[in-house]
Each structure stands twice: as structure tokens, then as C-alpha cells.
Amino acid sequence: MNSIKEIENSLTEDFNTFDNWTDKYEYIIDLGKNLPLIPSEFKIDEFKVKGCQSQVWLKPEYKDGKLFFYADSDAIITKGLIALLIKVLSGQTPENILKSDLDFLNKIGM
């Protein structure tokens, strides 16, 4: 598994290839479309992200010392942004997640 920083750098490189925001949005939307579906039993209040304008569900799972995240949203851009974060953080240890600064979000203009 790649480190958080390696994944962030790869995503930053991907975003740097786009000429305009339309291309970036299309990429984000595609990431959301490719996000694996979560079972309906996870779309409950316990996993709902509070304070978000769109409906977002985030299901964490701790397995073999690593965190894995499963999510869904009813908004396509939000779903894509969630997919970005899952791409970076899922499969990482809690310690590495806590140490990360997620500076790629600023680098890609989010």
C-alpha cells in the first residue's frame, strides 16, 4: 500500500494535468461514480454525516490495524470529494491518518 503522501502526490499530479475547472469537476464526478456502493443497512443515522447540506453516509471499519472507509452521497460532487478522501485515507493506519495534513486538497484547489 502506498503512503498517504504518495497518494496525495499522485492525485495532485492528476489534477495538474487539467486545463480548467470543468475537467477537474468531471474527474471528481467520475471518482464518485466509481465509488463502490455501500449496503443500504449502512445508510442509517449512525453513519450519516451531520451538518452536511447533502446526505452523506460514512462507514468506517477497523481491520488488521488499518482503517477502511465506505461512503455514499446523494450529491454527485460531494460523492466525488468523498471518493478523493477515501482514495487517500482508506487502508491506512490510524496513526498515519492522524499525522497527515492532507495538503493535497489545497494544492488541487479544494
> CA 98 → CA 9, 49, 94, 95, distances in Å?
18, 19, 6, 5
Digits of tens for pLDDT over the chain (110 positions)? Answer: 799 999 999 999 999 999 899 999 999 999 999 998 899 999 999 999 999 889 999 999 999 999 999 999 999 999 999 999 999 999 999 999 999 988 888 888 87
Catalytic residues: 52
pLDDT tens track for 87-106: 999 999 999 999 998 888 88
List of long-range contacts for 8-12, beta carbons under 8 Å, 24+ apart: 8/88, 8/100, 8/102, 8/103, 8/104, 8/107, 9/104, 11/84, 11/87, 11/88, 11/104, 11/108, 12/104, 12/107, 12/108
Q: List the domain boundaries for the chain.
A: 4-101
- One DSSP character per residue, 45-97 reads GGGBPTT-SS-EEEEEEEETTEEEEEEEESSHHHHHHHHHHHHHHTTB-HHHH
Please tell me the predicted confidence (pLDDT) of residue 105: 87
Q: What is the CATH number of domain 4-101?
A: 3.90.1010.10
